[in-house]
Amino acid sequence: RCYCGRLIGDHNGVDYSWTISAANSDENEQWSVEKHTTKSPTDTFGTIKFQDGEHTYHSKYIRTSYDTKLDHLLHLMLKEWKMELPKLVISVHGGIQNFKMPSKLKEIFSQGLVKAAETTGAWILTEGINTGVSKHVGDALKAHSSQSLRKIWTVGIPPWGVIENQRDLIGKDVLCLYQTLGNPLSKLTTLNSMHTHFILSDDGTVGKYGNEMKLRRNLEKYLSLQKIHSRTRQGVPVVGLVVEGGPNVILSVWETVKDNDPVVVCEGTGRAADLLAFTHKHLVDEGTLRPQVKQEIIHMIQNAFNFSLKQSKHLFQILMECMAHRDSITIFDADSEEQQDLDLAILTALLKGTNLSASEQLNLAMAWDRMDIAKKQILIYGQHWKPGSLEQAMLDALVMDRVDFVKLLIEYGVNLHRFLTIPRLEELYNTKQGPTNMLLHHLVRDVKQVTYPNFSWQTSIVILFPGYKITLIDIGLVIEYLIGGAYRSSYTRKNFRALYNNLYRKRKRTGKVMNLFAKEKSVALHKSRKKSKEQNLSEDPEAAGFTYPYNDLLVWAVLMKRQKMAMFFWQHGEEATVKAVIACKLYRAMAHEAKESNMVDDASEELKNYSKQFGQLALDMLEKAFKQNEQMAMKMLTY
C-alpha cells in the first residue's frame, strides 16, 4: 500500500518492479504531498441532493486542493454560490468519532449555536461529516430548520480522501443524489445533510485527516481580512468553539489563539474540551500550574487519548502553549448558575478577546444587530469614548436601519440637535446601504426637470449623472411636489438656502471637505436660541438649521421607505398628529407615483399600506384630543 493510503495497483502507470526494488533498497525516501502528488483542474463540483426522510436538502460542493487560492475560493462562495459575506465566523472543533453529549448540554449547545449564527449573520465551519461534532451541529440545524427557513450558512470542510461514495460526486456542475447511509465496516464517512455548502479538501491522500485543517484555518484568516461592513475598518471576527475532541483539537486551539482569535470551550463535553477547561481553571496568577496539578493533567491526557507518557508530555506542552493566551479562552460551563447563554458567551468572548476600542465593539454589535450585547457589555457607565464616536455610531445606526440602536444611543445621551447637521442629513439621503427607495431618485429627476423646463434634454440628463448627490434643496422640491398645493418646504425657503449656500461656500474655501465633519463645532441649543440667525450663519452654518430634528429624520425615513424607523421618530419629538398626517400624505403620493412609473407592483401597495398606518395614527390622535377637549382639538386642526 502506498503512503498516500491507496493500493499500489490503484496508481495508473506505476511499474510494479519499482515497488519491489524500492522495498529492498537502503534508500528510504520520505513521502510528501508536494513531491509525490500532481495538481489538475477540479472535476468535482455541483449540487448535492440529500433525501432525509420527508425532507430534501440541496448543498453546493466543490473538490479543491488544500492549498487552493483563497481569493478564488471566496469569489466562488460569494459570486457563484451567492453566499453573503459573514459578519462572524464560528469555527466548531471537536471529535470526528461519535460521542454522546448530555441531553441538557446538547440542548443548550444547539440553541446557543443557532441563535448566535442566526442573529449575527454568521457562517458556521465544521468538518461537514455525518459523525462526531459535525453531526451534533447538523442536529442543531435540523431542529432549527423545522421552525423557520434554512438561512444559516454552514460550510463543511472535510478531507476528500475520507468521504464515502466519492464516485457519486465526481462530475462537472452535476446534480448528485447522495446516500448518507455509510458502510458500517468502512473507515470512510458520509457527508452531513444539514450543511449548506461543502469544500472537499484534497491533498492526494485517502483515509487521512489533517490537510483540511490547513485549508480551514487559511480560509478563516482570509475572511478576517474582509471588512464586516463598509462603514467600519473591522474585519470579519472569527471565534473557535470546542466540543469534546481529540489531540488535534488542542493543536487547532493553539493555532487559533496564537493569532489572537478567541475560543469558547464547552466544558463537560469530554476529552480535549475538558482538558482545556481543567487546565484553564487551575492556572495560578503567573500562568503556571502547581506540580501535582501538572501530573494530574498528564495522567488525564494518557487516559483520554490512550497515549504513552512521552506523547502525553508533548501534548501537555502544546496545552500550556494554549494557556499562554488564556485571556483568549473562555470556558462555558452549562451547569454554573452564573453562566450566561452560549450565544452571549460566544459574542462576549469576541468583544473581550480582541483589542477593540469601545466604538469598534459597538460597530460589531451593530453589525450583528445585537442590542443586548451593546447594552450589557459596551454602553455601560464609565466607558471611555473618543470625541465624536457616539455621533458616528448614531450615523451608522441610521444608515444600517438599526432602530433599537438609535433608541439606545438616544437613551445613552446622544443629542439629536447637536448630531443632525446638513452634511449628515445629506449623507443619509445618499446612502446606498440598508433599505433604499429607488423611487426617490426618479422623483428628484422629475422635480429638477420641472424646475428647469428651459434646459435642453442633454442638460437634464447631466443633472442626474450616475453617482449624483441628492441635496436637501432637491428633497425640499420633492416634498413640495408630493404634498402639493401651496405647501412650502423649509428646505426651499430663503433662510435655509442662505444657510446652505453659506455652508458650502465655506467648505469650498477651506478645501478640506474630508476633515470638515471632524472639525464641526456644535452650538448648544439653549445658546443658539439666544443668538440671531445672522450670528449662527457666520459662526457655524453646519450646526444650525434643524430646530426639530425628529421631524427631519421622520421625513427622511418616510422618503427612504424605512417604516420601522419612521414609526420610531413619529413617537419622539413634537406635534405627533401633524407628523402622522405628513407621513400619511407623503406615502400616499409616493404610492401613486410608484404606480404611474410602472415600478414593481408590490412597491405601490407597500407604500399605500404604510400610508394607511400613519393615517390611522392621525385619526386616533384626533379622536383622543376631541375626547379630552373639543375646543383645543379644533384649534389644533386650524393651527
Q: What is the per-residue pLDDT across 43-57, written as a single tens digit (0 to 9) for each?
A: 999 999 998 777 889
Do residue 68 and residue 143 come from a single domain?
yes
Do residue 525 and residue 621 come from a single domain?
no
Helix (H) or strand (E) holding 64: strand 55-65
Please tell me the predicted confidence (pLDDT) of residue 453.
52
Higher-confidence position of 15 and 274: 274
How far is it, in rounded angstroms, from Cα 239 to Cα 262?
5
* 3-state DSSP assignment of residue 42: coil
- Give the start-end residues of each E strand in 306-372: 329-332
Please tell me the predicted confidence (pLDDT) of residue 531.
43
How far is it, in rounded angstroms, from Cα 53 to Cα 43?
30
Residue 545 lies inside a defined structural domain of this protein: yes
Residue 181 grid coordinates:
447511509
Range with the lowest mean pLDDT among 121-130, 148-157, 298-307?
A: 148-157
Q: Which of 500, 530, 563 is the last residue of a domain?
A: 563
Do residue 410 and residue 422 come from a single domain?
no
- Are 89 and 238 contacting, i.e. CB atoms less than 8 angstroms apart? yes
Q: In the structure, what pLDDT confidence band is assigned to residue 597 with cuts at 50, 70 and 90?
A: confident
Mean pLDDT calculated for residue range 480-492: 90
Which residues does 60 contact at the CB level (< 8 Å), separation at least 6? 46, 47, 48, 81, 196, 197, 198
Q: Which of 563, 590, 624 is the last residue of a domain?
A: 563
Do residue 542 and residue 593 come from a single domain?
no
- Give the start-end residues of each E strand in 80-144: 88-94, 122-126
492 class by beta-carbon count within 10 Å (0-12 exposed, 13-18 middle, 19+ buried): middle
CB atoms within 10 A of CB 613: 16
Do residue 499 and residue 581 come from a single domain?
no
Q: Which amino acid type is present at position 138? A: G
Strand order in the sheet with 44-52: 171-178, 44-52, 55-65, 197-202, 153-156, 122-126, 88-94, 238-243, 263-266, 329-332
Higher-confidence position of 36 and 385: 385
Mean pLDDT calculated for residue range 62-68: 95
Q: Is the pLDDT of residue 286 over 70?
A: yes
- Are 400 and 375 contacting, i.e. CB atoms less than 8 angstroms apart? no
Residue 9 lies in domain: 1-31
Do residue 489 and residue 619 come from a single domain?
no
Mean pLDDT calculated for residue range 25-45: 73
Do residue 595 and residue 502 come from a single domain?
no
Residue 336 lies inside a defined structural domain of this protein: no
Do residue 587 and residue 518 come from a single domain?
no
Please tell me the predicted confidence (pLDDT) of residue 146.
59
CB atoms within 10 A of CB 102: 14
Residue 357 lies inside a defined structural domain of this protein: no
Residue 461 lies inside a defined structural domain of this protein: yes
Residue 115 lies inside a defined structural domain of this protein: no
Do residue 421 and residue 538 come from a single domain?
yes
Q: Which amino acid type is present at position 500? A: Y
Q: Which of 193, 227, 261 is the last residue of a domain?
A: 227
Q: In the structure, what pLDDT confidence band is assigned to residue 624 with cuts at 50, 70 and 90?
A: confident
Residue 174 lies inside a defined structural domain of this protein: yes
pLDDT in tens, 160-202: 999 998 889 999 999 999 988 877 778 899 999 999 999 999 9
Residue 261 lies inside a defined structural domain of this protein: no
CA dist list (Å): 90 to 156, 328, 355, 450, 570: 12, 15, 19, 54, 39
What angle do the packed helices 358-368 and 342-352 form, to 10 degrees? 150
| Nearest CA-CA partner of 160 in 57, 66, 51, 31 | 66
Please tell me the predicted confidence (pLDDT) of residue 458.
45
Residue 250 grid coordinates:
488542542
Residue 386 grid coordinates:
473618543
Please tell me the predicted confidence (pLDDT) of residue 12.
65
Q: Is the pLDDT of residue 457 over 60?
A: no
Please tell me the number of Cα atoms within 13 Å of 567 on its side-chain side.
Answer: 14
Do residue 407 and residue 434 come from a single domain?
no
Q: What is the mean pLDDT of the chain?
A: 84
pLDDT in tens, 301-332: 999 999 999 999 999 999 999 999 999 999 99
Residue 279 lies inside a defined structural domain of this protein: no
Bridge partners for 91 per DSSP: 125, 240
How far is it, in rounded angstroms, from Cα 554 to Cα 568?
8
Q: In the structure, what pLDDT confidence band is assigned to residue 250 with cuts at 50, 70 and 90?
A: very high
Put simply, whether the predicted model's pTM sits higher than 0.85 gets the answer no
pLDDT above 70 as % of the chain: 83
Do residue 178 and residue 213 come from a single domain?
yes
pLDDT in tens, 467-477: 788 999 999 99
Please tell me the predicted confidence (pLDDT) of residue 500.
87
- Are 124 and 138 contacting, i.e. CB atoms less than 8 angstroms apart? no
Q: In the structure, what pLDDT confidence band is assigned to residue 7 with cuts at 50, 70 and 90?
A: low
Q: In the structure, what pLDDT confidence band is assigned to residue 520 with cuts at 50, 70 and 90?
A: very low
Phi, psi of 60 (to 5 degrees): -80, 150
Q: What total of structural domains would you count in the chain?
A: 5
How far is it, in rounded angstroms, from Cα 211 to Cα 222?
17
Do residue 403 and residue 519 come from a single domain?
no
Q: In the structure, what pLDDT confidence band is assigned to residue 465 with cuts at 50, 70 and 90?
A: low
- Are 438 and 563 contacting, i.e. CB atoms less than 8 angstroms apart? no
